[in-house]
Amino acid sequence: MIQLRKFDCYGQLIMASLSIASMAALFGLGLMIGLFIIGCWQLISASFNTKSFIDTGFKKRIIYYWTFAIANLSLVFLTYTIIESASEILSEILAGITLIGAIVIAVYYWRIYFKLIELLSLRNELDGLTKSKH
């Protein structure tokens, strides 16, 4: 299971690197597409890993993640619904806030996910050591 989590986490990082690298060729569209894919990927990953976060003592951190993710998604939908009726400046400000929020949330998830993987790896290693002594 640890190998699958590592694959998941490093896959997200590779996708982020590709989206940043594509910015020059796609003029920012690559970053937007990459953030959308990473955001969806992280939501799926977090939904599968929430129980593990809670069981290992990262309950507060995963609750923060879900709170920020839901708030940012709400802001995205709010921006999308008022984009035609609001001024262009307000729409750009809201879009900028959601873009920065998405980047911050992605980095935050990677940090807590790496800590979870590290803790679970350490637990597995310690379990192996205690089993071998008996």
| DSSP states along 81-114 | HHTTTS-HHHHHHHHHHHHHHHHHHHHHHHHHHH
Query: Residue 68: which domain range?
Result: 2-132
pTM for this predicted structure: 0.84
Cα 129 to Cα 22, 56, 125, distances in angstroms: 45, 20, 6
Count up the domains in the chain and report the number: 1
Residue count of the chain? 134
In whole angstroms, what is the distance from residue 7 CA to residue 117 CA? 11
- pLDDT per residue as tens digits for the range 7-52: 998 898 888 888 777 776 766 677 778 888 888 999 999 999 999 9
Instruction: Kindly report, residue by residue over 45-80, the tens digit of the pLDDT.
Output: 999 999 999 999 999 999 999 999 999 999 888 887
